[in-house]
Amino acid sequence: MSLNRRQFLATSSLAAAASAVNLRNLLASTAQAPQAPPATAFVNLRGTVGYFTGQGGTIGWHVDKTSVVVVDAQFPVTAKICLDGINERSGSRPVDFLVNTHHHGDHTAGNVVFRPVTRKILAQANEPRLQLEAAARAAKNAKPGAPPPAEPVVADTTYEKTWREAVGGEVLALKYYGPAHTGADSVVSFEKAGVVHVGDLVFNRLHPYIDKPAGASIANWIKALEAVAADHEKSTVFVFGHAGQKFQPTGSSADLLFMRDYLTALLEFVRGEIKAGKPKETILKITDPLKGFPDHGPLIERVLSAAYEELVG
């Protein structure tokens, strides 16, 4: 019996009376009840470029008369909604490039939806390995009896440091700034539109996920954000992987530098606590907001432990 079913039995007022057959019927009818579609939005940003929000990392898109580019793929359900919207705008032409900014499931699980209509899936050279390793871990940790996780759909085209190609009336350029959020983050520029998708290099006013097992480096993430800001015109619009509830998934280089300052403050704060002689367990339980970053809310163990690991190893 699965945990959910046991929880259901434990919490349902029907539990005492429900026979196994009744319970099975009840669970089946719940599973078949129509679910409300997830909230999604298509937003035009500049020229041929816009973004899509649904579940998971923000998707970027470019559609002109002769080309289609998509940046990140969320999960299958919203990927399908996104692809339908792109097809409406493009007249159902193939997708020239799907870019994965990094391997996390909320950016790549929807690859399976785009694959049949996509010429090339692009990513940094370390990305497919990280995605396959994560999938193997998920399969190994799957609960007994659970359906096997879907086969990962990974990039078929990779680059080491930079990649650049004209696509329709746009120029698509990718750059790897070294380990940051993971060990394979691409920064994706639509050069003519002046729009740059930075993937999860920016969690806009939100505690980030810092994937140390996948090669993340807070110290280099700080440098990367500075370099991305310096590499682009002041007028560039940036698209962020995630944003806090009251904040936008797009912004300016000032938001990149704010994220840099947050990461610097996080690292310095944990360094100070270690210096003060506090044990790891005490540091990881701190919940005061990081000074100067009230919008992020209370500190959380996830970011504290990543910073601790980076400083102490």
If the CB atoms of residues 81 and 198 are measured against Zn ion, the closer one turns out to be: 198
Shortest Cβ distance from residue 102 to Zn ion (Å)? Answer: 6
Task: Record the tokens describing residue 197, joined without a space.
Answer: 């998708």
Give the N- to C-terminal CA distance of the chain in Å, as an integer: 40
If the CB atoms of residues 200 and 255 are measured against Zn ion, the closer one turns out to be: 200
Shortest Cβ distance from residue 208 to Zn ion (Å)? Answer: 8
Shortest Cβ distance from residue 210 to Zn ion (Å)? Answer: 10
CA pair distance 191, 195, nearest whole angstrom: 7
Shortest Cβ distance from residue 192 to Zn ion (Å)? Answer: 27
If the CB atoms of residues 195 and 210 are measured against Zn ion, the closer one turns out to be: 210
Q: State the residues that interact with Zn ion by CB under 5 A.
A: 104, 200
Task: Record the tokens describing residue 291, joined without a space.
Answer: 């000074």
If the CB atoms of residues 196 and 283 are measured against Zn ion, the closer one turns out to be: 196
Shortest Cβ distance from residue 187 to Zn ion (Å)? Answer: 14
If the CB atoms of residues 134 and 222 are measured against Zn ion, the closer one turns out to be: 134
Q: Are 82 and 111 in contact (CB under 8 A)?
A: no
Shortest Cβ distance from residue 103 to Zn ion (Å)? Answer: 8
Q: Which residue in the block uniquely carries the two structure tokens 């940003």? A: 45
If the CB atoms of residues 104 and 296 are measured against Zn ion, the closer one turns out to be: 104
